[in-house]
Chains A and B, each alone.
Chain A
Amino acid sequence: MRTLTTAVRTALFTTITAVGLTASLSAQNASAADLDALREQIRLLDQKLRVLERNSELAAETAAADAKKLPKITATEGRFEIASSDGANSLRLRGLVQGDGRFYFDDANAAQDRFLLRRARLIFEGKFAERFNYVVQPEFAGTTVSILDANISTALIPETLNVRVGRFKTPVGLEQLQSDPVAFFNERSIATNLAPNRDVGVEIFGSVLEKRLGYQVSATNGVIDGGNSNPASDNLEGDFTVAGRLFATPFVNDKDSVLKGLGFGIAAATGNYAGAQLNAYRTDGQQNFFAYRGTTVANGRASVISPQAYFYNGPLGILAEYFSNSAELINAANAREITNTAVNLSVGYVLTGEDSTYRGVTPKTTFNPTAGTWGAFEVVARFAQVDIDDDAFLGGVTSLAAATNATEVTSYGLGLNWYLSKTVRAGFNVFQNDFKLAPGAAPAAGTALADDETVFITRVQVSF
């Protein structure tokens, strides 16, 4: 069309020139009628040119409008998505692969040194009909494929009131609720052993007061602590577990406030778990340090309460939480209510100046030695402790837990995170786990508790 327009312009110019020449060469001979005819010819050519240009314009508008109706495909670092032209329907592909190396420096666990695929997940998420969001997250690491998250959510009142149905994280542990790849350390703290994890049910969540106060309330089948429920399991004892969490970020809208990144809240869950098997608690090196006897089961209600807080300001990040977990348990005729407690205090500082946030660190540069860019570096430190109720060890041969378990574990962690790009991170962590044993306990040589645990965990992960 452009060529055609140019041709018409040329023709018009030629005609005007011819008219001018004709007029000047034979001005005296030209009649008024001849000049009028030539003027009309120019007018008609001008109109034809304008029509061509307008039709070209309309064709371009139509093409642009048609292009808007095509599905949008986004493929950038960290985002792979197909969405309908109006954005109402979409499918986003996300993924997480973590390759670990674990190296133990204590004699008892030296045989556990290994490389392993810690996580290998493909995450499918998106929305339908604008308002129905979904996520399906299978886990491929390990010997079997399992479904971690599978839920659908919708906003009844945008921001304020949302409903989620399916399998999701129980809203209790602050670090547990944080996405795996953005936590300060390669492994969550030992305190998270006391936080319920994924469960099946329904959740209402949202925020009010212009995002200053978030809330979550869930009703689920029930998971006692530190573990995931079976996706197909029935609820325990015909009773649902109810969990709730209130989390305030009072200065979140104050752009210049030093407290903008302050958040604090409290979470709790309670349910009847009678008959449920109980989970073991693990060290930072993922070795069991406490497990109830195989014949010990829940005998009724269990509850957990967790005050929690974080503070992020520039490159500094601090996350703290406390758990008090009480449960009615029984082994044979030995029924007791025990209360275990745990604490986690984690700190991170981004050496290269990027902001530390609950959602992780985004490096300003990507690792590229030839360009002289190295990504971002963050140092992290953590103190954590789990204290097992002494009553768990009372009762002789029918005690809830054998005396060979640790009664208290104190963990110290140091680490360096290297953000090679938005999606690739390497983590180098050292953990020291000091065990306090029951009086008279003498773990067999070579077992996990024979020595305090000192472990070096490396990780390379791709997360998008």
Chain B
Amino acid sequence: MKLKSLLSALLAVVAVTGATAKDIELLNVSYDPTRELYVEYNAAFSAYWKGKTGDNVTIKQSHGGSGKQARSVIDGLKADVVTLALANDVSAISKNAGLLPANWQERLPLGSAPYTSTIVFLVRKSSPFYGKIKDWNDLTLPGLAVITPNPKTSGGAQWNYLAAWEYGRRKLGSDEKAQEFVKSIYKNVPVLDSGARGSTTTFVQRGIGDVFLSWENEAFLAVKEFGADKFEIVVPSLSILAQPTVAVVDKVAKKKGTEAVAKAYLEYLYSDEAQDIIGKNYYRPTSAAAKAKYAASFPKVELFTIDDAFGGWTKAHKDHFSDGATFDQIYLKK
């Protein structure tokens, strides 16, 4: 048999056997508190995709501190999509592993952030400090125990670190004084978990600490699950607009042949159905309809953005969370 006819025969075999593929599996590598959100969203998306294409799509979830999750993807975890707490963590995957282009935030609306959140205080009602914690400056009270994850590994911790910093800067007038202010808060931190869900465990289940610097959705969940008689959500006078971001990990998806469904999976986060699920899970939706529907659920708070206060994530990370930056100066010298 000559080469040309041989190749034709082999291609025919490939075509016939390849036509049977129907089951698709995606891996969504996400940050800590999104477990419940994506359980509900994945079911909705699978039903949507089945109706649209007839294919069965199963989405596996992986959760952990946002920075830690990004490191896992860089080290080889085969994520089709990432839905992380910080744009900077997604950019790190682009920069360090080249798995997606540098302009990834331009591919989806709103800078690839289909929902937002913020940082609030979850206060233990049995604490002697209950009633005394109203704002960021109360976190420096002597004897107070503050629970927050490690900013080196947790996206949520970076958001609350920067929120405290900006509060200090506005109140005290300079970055130097802001650093001293944040340092005095961290003097009150007895345990550093690697992610937000671990800190929830520390605070809620292990009974450690007086106040927990928490994702807003995580605080709502804790109150819902463990009772308003035990915890109270305190909203500070100023907080940060947290913008978790999502992206297709192009090279992995291409290799696995899941590009189309991975792209659709993220695009569907902006749909009416998804935005409703987002609101139900205490994340702040971005569509006008869902915003209006859930407006009453979220407390009013003055929010600033990372771009306005810190010049964007790249600069913020370099100034505060890279090796030797302000967090290391604060915490290593604690």
Residues of A near any B CB (own CB < 8 A): 40, 43-44, 47, 50-51, 53-55, 58, 62, 86, 88, 130, 156-157, 160-161, 202, 204, 206, 208, 215, 217, 219, 238-240, 242, 270-271
* Cβ–Cβ contact A161 & B14, under 8 A: yes
- Smallest CB gap from A89: residue in B: B76
* Cβ–Cβ contact A219 & B6, under 8 A: yes
A-B contact pairs, 22 of them (CB 8 A): A40-B128, A47-B190, A50-B208, A51-B208, A58-B191, A58-B194, A62-B194, A156-B14, A160-B17, A160-B18, A160-B20, A160-B21, A202-B10, A204-B14, A206-B17, A208-B17, A215-B13, A217-B13, A219-B1, A239-B2, A240-B3, A240-B6
Cβ-based interface call for B158 (8 A): no
Q: Tell me which residues across on chain A come within 8 A of B78, comparing CB atoms.
A: 130
Cβ-based interface call for B9 (8 A): yes
- CA of A233 to CA of B89, assembled, Å: 53
- Smallest CB gap from B192: residue in A: A58
Total number of B residues with any Cβ neighbor in A under 8 Å: 27
Cβ-based interface call for B111 (8 A): no
Cβ-based interface call for B207 (8 A): yes
Q: Which 3 A-B pairs have the closest CB atoms?
A: A51-B190, A161-B17, A50-B208
Cβ-based interface call for B52 (8 A): no
- CA of A55 to CA of B78, assembled, Å: 31
* Cβ–Cβ contact B17 & A50, under 8 A: no
Q: Contacts A58-B191, A88-B76; is A208 near B20 (CB within 8 Å)?
A: yes
Apart from A47-B208, A88-B76, A161-B18: 4 A-B pairs, beta carbons within 8 A: A40-B128, A160-B18, A161-B14, A239-B1
* Cβ–Cβ contact B208 & A204, under 8 A: no
Q: Tell me which residues across on chain A come within 8 A of B250, comparing CB atoms.
A: none
* Cβ–Cβ contact A86 & B208, under 8 A: no
* Cβ–Cβ contact A204 & B13, under 8 A: yes
Cβ-based interface call for B122 (8 A): no
- CA of A160 to CA of B13, assembled, Å: 11
Q: Which B119-143 residues have a C-beta within 8 angstroms of A?
A: 128, 143
* Cβ–Cβ contact A54 & B191, under 8 A: yes
* Cβ–Cβ contact A242 & B6, under 8 A: yes
Contact residues of A: prevailing secondary structure? mixed
- CA of A109 to CA of B317, assembled, Å: 84
Q: Tell me which residues across on chain A come within 8 A of B92, comparing CB atoms.
A: none
The minimal Cβ–Cβ distance linking A12 to chain B, given in whole angstroms, is 14
Q: Tell me which residues across on chain B come within 8 A of A156, comparing CB atoms.
A: 14, 18
- CA of A55 to CA of B208, assembled, Å: 11
Contact residues of B: prevailing secondary structure? loop
- CA of A202 to CA of B7, assembled, Å: 11
Q: Contacts A156-B14, A161-B14; is A54 near B206 (CB within 8 Å)?
A: yes
Q: Tell me which residues across on chain B come within 8 A of A157, comparing CB atoms.
A: 17-18, 20-21
Q: Tell me which residues across on chain B come within 8 A of A43, comparing CB atoms.
A: 128
- Smallest CB gap from A238: residue in B: B2
Cβ-based interface call for B74 (8 A): no
The minimal Cβ–Cβ distance linking B150 to chain A, given in whole angstroms, is 10
Q: Contacts A157-B21, A161-B18; is A54 near B10 (CB within 8 Å)?
A: no
- CA of A173 to CA of B20, assembled, Å: 29
The minimal Cβ–Cβ distance linking A368 to chain B, given in whole angstroms, is 44
- CA of A215 to CA of B12, assembled, Å: 14
* Cβ–Cβ contact B1 & A240, under 8 A: yes
The minimal Cβ–Cβ distance linking A318 to chain B, given in whole angstroms, is 30
Q: Tell me which residues across on chain A come within 8 A of B9, comparing CB atoms.
A: 217, 242
Q: Tell me which residues across on chain A come within 8 A of B198, comparing CB atoms.
A: 58
The minimal Cβ–Cβ distance linking A204 to chain B, given in whole angstroms, is 6
* Cβ–Cβ contact A53 & B76, under 8 A: no
Q: Which B175-216 residues have a C-beta within 8 angstroms of A?
A: 190-191, 193-194, 198, 202, 206-209
The minimal Cβ–Cβ distance linking B322 to chain A, given in whole angstroms, is 22
Specify which of A51, A204, A217 is in contact with B191 (CB 8 Å cutoff): A51
Cβ-based interface call for B113 (8 A): no
- CA of A341 to CA of B20, assembled, Å: 38
1/0 per residue, CB under 8 A from A, across B53-83: the answer is 0000000000000000000000010100000
Cβ-based interface call for B93 (8 A): no
* Cβ–Cβ contact A54 & B202, under 8 A: yes
Q: Tell me which residues across on chain A come within 8 A of B277, comparing CB atoms.
A: none
Specify which of B13, B76, B145, B194 is in contact with A86 (CB 8 Å cutoff): B76
Q: Tell me which residues across on chain A come within 8 A of B14, comparing CB atoms.
A: 156, 161, 204
- Smallest CB gap from A84: residue in B: B76
Q: Tell me which residues across on chain A come within 8 A of B193, comparing CB atoms.
A: 58
- CA of A53 to CA of B2, assembled, Å: 73
- Smallest CB gap from A160: residue in B: B17
Q: Tell me which residues across on chain B come within 8 A of A86, comparing CB atoms.
A: 76
* Cβ–Cβ contact B207 & A242, under 8 A: no
The minimal Cβ–Cβ distance linking B74 to chain A, given in whole angstroms, is 14
Q: Tell me which residues across on chain B come within 8 A of A44, comparing CB atoms.
A: 143
- CA of A50 to CA of B202, assembled, Å: 9
The minimal Cβ–Cβ distance linking B162 to chain A, given in whole angstroms, is 24
- CA of A71 to CA of B3, assembled, Å: 44
